[in-house]
Chain A
Amino acid sequence: MQLWLIPILPLAGFFINGVFGRRFSKSLVSTVAVGSVVLAFAWALRVILALGDLNSAYTEHYFTWIQSGFVNIGCDMAVDRLTVVMLMVVTGIGSLIHIYAIGYMAHEHGPNFGGFYRFFAYLNLFMFFMLTLVLAANFLLLFVGWEGVGLCSYLLIGFYFDKKFATNAGNKAFIVNRIGDFGFSLAIFLIMVNFKSLDFATVFQQAPGASEATLTTIGLLLLVGACGKSAQLPLYVWLPDAMAGPTPVSALIHAATMVTAGVYMCARSWPIYVHAPEAMHAIALIGIATAFFAATIGLAQNDIKKVFAYSTVSQLGYMFVGVGCGAFSAGIYHLMTHAFFKALLFLGSGSVIHALSGEQDLRNMGGLRTKIPWTFWTMLCAALAISGFPFTSGFFSKDAILIAAHGYAPWMFWLGVVTAGMTAFYVFRAMFLAFFGTYRGREHPHESPPVMYLPLVVLAALSLGGGFIKIPVFLDKFFPTGEVPEDSTLMAISVAFGLGGIALAYLMYVLKPSMADSFADSVKGLYTLVYNKYFVDEIYDAAVVRPVVGGSRAVLWKTVDAGFIDGMVNGVGTLSRGVGDVLRRMQSGNIRSYASWVLLGCVTVIGAVLFFLGGVR
């Protein structure tokens, strides 16, 4: 079925735009970029329709990649039901965001020459790696995609490379991800050693036979990798800074697709996790802690993209709760609906930023509801969905997770419900600050062009109706646990918290705008703590960055490098120079002196032979 075509198409787009984009017009660049992704979407759709019910995985083997001893790794791609969901999300949302980006990046020229084609080339490259990650049939190929999306994330966060904070954010994302990837690669080594294979099919078939300790170790190391990529505690710090990239990047990479790779990988490895309950418990704990922690930070942010960034971290936490509680399909369900509404929230905020010519601070917005109505109404759909408003997409998926959490540990349910309330509050706080009240900024707002708001409309429809795509039913044969029975009481509680959050935001930011400030004043210490993101960046800086930098400087640089290694190299240099100084004197340029040396040498050799060997008989 030529599965390889799906990732290769965006790669071709990357090469065409990357090599020739400088000479192309903007419309040609966008045609190539969008066309390649839309074609990938169409081909993925064709493949999926042709493959039928997909009750077992469909695998294609292309070539043997590594062959050494018992290591035999092929370049294999596979499609099963989980892949179908991911493929549709990645190519579908990817296409919409590519289309949107044509409008958003239209004014891109400025100091970084050729920004337009560079942006689309990177974006296509990202699609290639993400599709490789999703289609991979073994851990190593998955790792290739995994690292590749990390690279593209780095390139696109630092897209405005003439701005110091953007390049710093790119570095931060890359370095923090290294920590996670270290754990992931250790997990791959362990899998290789224990199962003598990296193919998903082989590994997962043998997984029940391995000892629980081994599986727990592998599971925890995989979790470390997932924590890095999916921005979970304690490695979430890179994601909020990643908002330095252009907004379509935030929507595609840092909300809808790449950051969900960790959830996908954990769900993909379910046969390992079901035999390692400790590791699953760790996933659930990290997930719920991240969900709650990030939501509290989101309450007090003033940058519209930062609000949604912390919201993403928090929602990813939900997905991990789902996976950790054994409700894998609920986690993937939320992954999909979150891709819809969070991509929409980011694209909408991009549209707001575009309308205000670059303004991101909520305090300088307000009253935009009538000025940019398309953006407002579509974003409202996403805000309702993320708040779990009944029968929107977020309502179904979040409840699936919360009910599973209730079955796993009731306290997780309650923490999740409180988080849901906070989520509704901070999202609607951003909505009310941006769209209600009176306009507080100076720029003249203007609605975005259709190429930008049409993707928003599609995403709005998906945010509202996407919950009716019943992922848990679709995946019930794929994952061990079936659909969790619906519990109307628990549903009512979570909806009540969501609506309560919205109502509170309405009260504090629309009815009595002074209330927000007086409330912040009354809990000043707590507010400062949350506003400054619990000083986590500062703590990391003091506890990790400074010791590492200081240690490297004092020990590795001054002592080892400058003292030892340089000393050795310089010593060899000085020695050869000294020897050369002596030997140089022999090179007089006088032929007869050379001949004398030859003669002397011959006489010495003959003399030595005669003296030591007593002559040759």
Chain B
Amino acid sequence: MAEVPVSWFLTLSAVLFVLGVSGFLFRRNIITVFMSIELMLNAVNLTFITFAYQLKQVNGHLFAFFVMVVAAAEATVGLAIILTVFKNRSTLNIDDVNSMKN
């Protein structure tokens, strides 16, 4: 069985990352923006795993686990913030959350 080349994994990861970035930049819904962040994290995770597999080193796996833990924690906090923002402002439009300006 032919091995899937490493470059395919990396390309997929790059595509996912760019999707995440574009979502972050161009969507206004906070939930979508939040999911874009998760997408970027997972794209990076994929890169870590790919290199760990190619270089036969365990470090990449470790990084990936760390990223997952941090992402889980971040998701908890982030969702809590989003809930509070929605309660207070009844909106999920990210451009309306700019009260720190001025």
Contacts and interface: CB of A to CB of B under 8 A. Distances in A.
Contact of B94 (A587, A588, A591, A596): A591
Interface in A568-602: 587-592, 595-596, 599
B101 A588 contact: yes
B101 A587 contact: yes
Interface in B12-70: 21, 24-26, 33
A535 B46 CA distance: 97
Contact of A592 (B94, B100, B101, B102): B94
Given A587-B101, A588-B101, A589-B101, A595 B25 contact: yes
Interface string A381-401: 000000000000000000000
Nearest to B28: A592
Q: In the complex, which range does the number of interface residues on chain B fall in?
A: 10 to 19
B77 to A, nearest CB: 16
Contacts, number: 23
Main SS class of interface, A: helix
B97 interface: yes
Nearest to A587: B101
B25 A596 contact: yes
A592 B98 contact: no
Interface in A358-410: none
B95 interface: yes
A591 B92 CA distance: 13
Contact of A590 (B21, B24, B33, B98): B98
Interface string B59-102: 00000000000000000000000000000000000110110111
A596 B25 CA distance: 7
Nearest to B101: A589
Contact of A591 (B21, B26, B97, B102): B97
Contacts of A599: 21, 25
B98 A589 contact: yes
A599 B20 CA distance: 12
A273 B21 CA distance: 89
A590 B25 contact: no
22 contacts: A587-B101, A588-B101, A589-B98, A589-B100, A589-B101, A589-B102, A590-B95, A590-B98, A591-B94, A591-B95, A591-B97, A591-B98, A592-B24, A592-B25, A592-B26, A592-B94, A592-B95, A595-B24, A595-B25, A596-B25, A599-B21, A599-B25
Interface of B: 21, 24-26, 33, 94-95, 97-98, 100-102
Question: Which 8 pairs between the two chains have the least Cβ-Cβ distance?
Answer: A589-B101, A589-B98, A592-B25, A591-B94, A595-B24, A595-B25, A596-B25, A599-B21
Given A589-B102, A591-B98, 13 more contacts: A588-B101, A589-B98, A589-B100, A589-B101, A590-B95, A590-B98, A591-B33, A591-B95, A592-B25, A595-B24, A596-B25, A599-B21, A599-B25
